[in-house]
Amino acid sequence: MRILIADDHDLVRETLSAYLENAGGAEVALASSLPETLKVGAEQGPFDLLLLDYNMPGMMGLEGLDKAIEAGVAKGVAILSGNAPANLAQDAVDRGAIGYLPKTMTAQSLVHAVRFMLAGETFVPVSHMAGNADQNPLAQQLSRREAEVLNGLCRGLANKEIARELDLQEVTIKLHVRTLCKKLEAKNRTHAAMIAKEAGLF
């Protein structure tokens, strides 16, 4: 997989690049502004995925997303952000982004999210979705950790993978899955994921 990381912070670029090259097996290119992103895209693209920093020079909010998509820099574009408006994730997806990645994500979560998007899915953490805990009645029943575990179930991850992603013991994930099934009145983990998706949680 070929990924272009566009961010104006050297440390963020290098850290993300190391994550994706070492854990994800990706071939990574870098850019530090929107003009440079468009230039690299024209010269080396299209990439499989573009991770685009929301606050990078030249972005002007989501106008930069529009330009990157229009230029065909990558097959899919995801927004990266450390500090953004609450509705940004939904706005970005509405404008054609295939994901939203907070910079607070762990390395393992980032790699899982990237693989998820490369498989053709849209990735947005439950806490950043329009149907989040403040608005979705189903989400109001869940703790933050339960929502994270449910997110993993919806992405088809095994308990062991969810445990690794959340830095928890596998037995803890099993307990959360059992609790989720009770709260959602689901017969099993697959049924729980179906209920969550039908409710618009993921």
Q: How high is the pLDDT of residue 133? A: 45
Sheet holding 27-31, edge to edge: 27-31, 2-6, 49-53, 77-81, 99-102
Q: How high is the pLDDT of residue 49? A: 96
1 class by beta-carbon count within 10 Å (0-12 exposed, 13-18 middle, 19+ buried) = middle
Pick from 151, 96, 153: nearest CA to 127? 151
Q: How high is the pLDDT of residue 47? A: 96
User: What CATH class does 139-198 carry?
Assistant: mainly alpha
Domain boundaries, the chain: 2-124, 139-198
**pTM, full prediction:** 0.66
Q: How high is the pLDDT of residue 113? A: 87
Spans of the chain, pLDDT less than 50 = 131-134
Asked if 102 and 81 touch (Cβ cutoff 8 Å), the reply is: yes
> Would the CATH topology of 2-124 be identical to that of 139-198?
no
Q: What is the CATH number of domain 2-124?
A: 3.40.50.2300
Q: How high is the pLDDT of residue 131? A: 47
Residues 157-177 pLDDT 10s: 999 999 988 888 999 999 999
Q: How high is the pLDDT of residue 83? A: 67
* Euclidean distance between CA atoms 101 and 125, whole angstroms: 8
